[in-house]
Amino acid sequence: MRAIMFLTVTFVLSVVSVAAGAQTDKVRAAIEATNRKFEAAWAKKDAAAAAALYTEDALAMPPNGPVAKGAQAILDMWTAALPTVPGPIRLITLETSTHGDVAHEVGTYVIWGADGKIVENGKFVVLWKNEGGQWKLHRDIWNSDMPPAK
């Protein structure tokens, strides 16, 4: 009986461990796919499409502004911000780590101007949450590498 329990526990933990590795790859792919959607929403200045990538009770934490709490505030934030962006954005995922229905991502971003020159680059951390099978941004914070605009 004790041997059966030991073997069963070992087996369960092995399956959990192997599943976790495979899950991380899948989650990273889902996160990167969602980042491509964010870039597309940014390019089209489509605030609704950008906001739809966040959870209902997400927090977006922009530099030099208050926290946007929840779906409506995040929609308002992107509705105000996207008309002012100079050109495309690219999000570069540096690392992800998955823990059940949450994951974290560390990355960098680049923003180009209309003339194709880089106007800003920075870094971000996102805590992702799996909501009904969809990985969504749940906590989103970023800042610029560049000195403050004068």
One-letter-per-residue 3-state SS of 72-108 = HHHHHHHHHHHHHCCCCEEEEEEEEEEECCEEEEEEE
Residue 25: both structure tokens together? 């790859």
Look at the block and give the residue holding tokens 């990355």: 107
Q: What are phi and psi of 12, to 5 degrees?
A: -60, -45
Minimum distance of its own copies from residue 27's CB (angstroms): 13
Interface contacts to its own copies, rule CB under 8 A:
1, 4-5, 8-9, 12, 59, 61-67, 97, 99-100, 102, 104, 106, 123-125, 127, 139, 141-150
Minimum distance of its own copies from residue 141's CB (angstroms): 5
State which residue, 19 or 146, has the beta carbon closest to its own copies.
Answer: 146
State which residue, 82 or 125, has the beta carbon closest to its own copies.
Answer: 125
Minimum distance of its own copies from residue 118's CB (angstroms): 15
Q: What is the DSSP letter of 116?
A: S
State which residue, 44 or 86, has the beta carbon closest to its own copies.
Answer: 86
State which residue, 40 or 106, has the beta carbon closest to its own copies.
Answer: 106
Contact 63, 142 (CB under 8 A): yes
